[in-house]
Amino acid sequence: MMKKILLIFSISLAIIGCDALTGKEVARLPINETSNINLNMKEATLFLKKDEKVSFWTETDIEYENDVALVYTIELWKDSIKLGGVQLDALETNPTILEIKSSKGNKTSWSYTGKMDQYVVEEDGEYTYKAVLSSSDNPTLKINKAELVLKK
């Protein structure tokens, strides 16, 4: 019984420590598929204050053969006015944590969580993040998970 309590305590400390290092999750957009033809845009709305930093993370679990590109296109709206957008490479993250990658021949299986970029809020307001995921033309791509995570 004591071992179970210590294990639960250790896991709790690891999760708390992870938030301290990576930021606190404030929104999650479970995209989980590419939208090369039909746009499957997901969105989240947050009230943010000036100078807050919003980090863009991805939780990804994919399988593919040869090479693949995976890109989030994110639009930023404030009080229903489009401020702009950005494209972020889901395969280029820093830091990358909880990574498991294996390759055999030309087949790759890759699961990870990683930070892609961040945005500093310029003024208080209601911000809406709209995102879609696109990929290179690779029919072998299997997306088990592709979620855009916003953290502060």
| Domain locations in the chain as residue ranges | 26-151
The mean per-residue pLDDT over the stretch 124-138 comes to 95
Which residues lie across from 76 on neighbouring strands? 84, 129
Render pLDDT for 29-67 as a digit per residue (tens, 0 to 9).
Answer: 999 999 876 677 999 999 999 999 999 999 999 999 999
How far CA 38 is from CA of 35, 62, 98, 136, in Å, comes to 5, 20, 31, 15
Task: Give the global pTM.
Answer: 0.84
Architecture of domain 26-151: Sandwich (2.60)
